[in-house]
Amino acid sequence: MATLFGTLAAVVLALSLWIGFRNKTEYSAQIEARQTAERKLKTSSEEYERRKSDLNDTIDSKEKVLAENAEQAKQRDELASKVDALQSQLDSLEDQKKSKASEVASQEEIMKDLPDAEVLVPQIKATTNKITQLKSDIVDEKDKIATLESQKETTNSQIAAMQSVNSNIADGKSQPNLSTTISSVYRNWGFVTLNGGDSQGVVPGSTLDVVRNGEVIAKLRVTTVEPNRAAADIIVDDSQPSISLRSGDRVVAEATQANN
């Protein structure tokens, strides 16, 4: 019986060892297979990344080529425009050349009928000098005319002024621009003396206004006139209140105080 149990134990032990060995072998095989799969996966990943990088490089290269093509197309269009512009300029220059050639031919035709240059040039210079001199003479004459016109206007103004003065003297009126003052007042004798006379426009026998604060306060009748002084009687107006005249009161020609 003991031998049987020993045999069974040995068999069980052997079976266990065989199963363990088999499991170990299978486990090792699985580990090896897994490592192989991981190596393949790593290789595949690296290949994928390489191909992905190559694809990106290809895309970048394509975009770069497209951009270069677009730039070249732009440059080509610009060059074409420049060529067209240059051609237009060339055509214009050709037209100008033809026009100038026609003008030259026309001038040459005209020159055929002209005298020799050795004769013509001095004549042209002499004519030019005459024209220049005539222009200068015209300017001088215009200046003289302007001066004479100015002198004429001045003379006419002086004549008009003298005629006005003579007319006022003939009419017994002092000059309209007269403006003087009372020098002294002689109330008892009813006259005043003035600080202005013939030189200031006082006329014998004329009537003068005495002005104070812009109003006529009295009238005078000139009796005596000297170059720079005069005497005048005080005209008494019973309808007006009596106002005492004083030295320094302003005296003007009659009816001109509104303009002074």
**Would you say residue 23 lies in a domain?**
no
Q: Which two tokens stand for residue 146?
A: 């302007």
pLDDT at 65: 75
pLDDT digits (tens, 9 = 90+) for 47-99: 888 888 878 887 887 788 788 878 888 888 888 888 888 888 888 888 888 88
pTM of this prediction exceeds 0.75: no
Number of domains in the chain: 1
Q: Give the C-alpha separation, 218 to 211, whole Å.
A: 7
What CA–CA distance (Å, rounded) separates 91 from 111?
Answer: 30
In a domain, 240, yes or no: yes
Q: Determine the average pLDDT of the residues in 5-32.
A: 77
Residue 200 lies in a domain: yes
CATH code at position 248: 2.40.10.340
Residue 161 within a domain: no
Is 207 domain-assigned?
yes
Whether 204 maps to a domain, the answer reads: yes
Best mean pLDDT range from 7-16, 193-202, 232-241: 193-202
Instruction: Please report whether residue 62 resides in a domain.
Output: no
In a domain, 129, yes or no: no
Q: Which residues span the domain enclosing 249?
A: 173-259
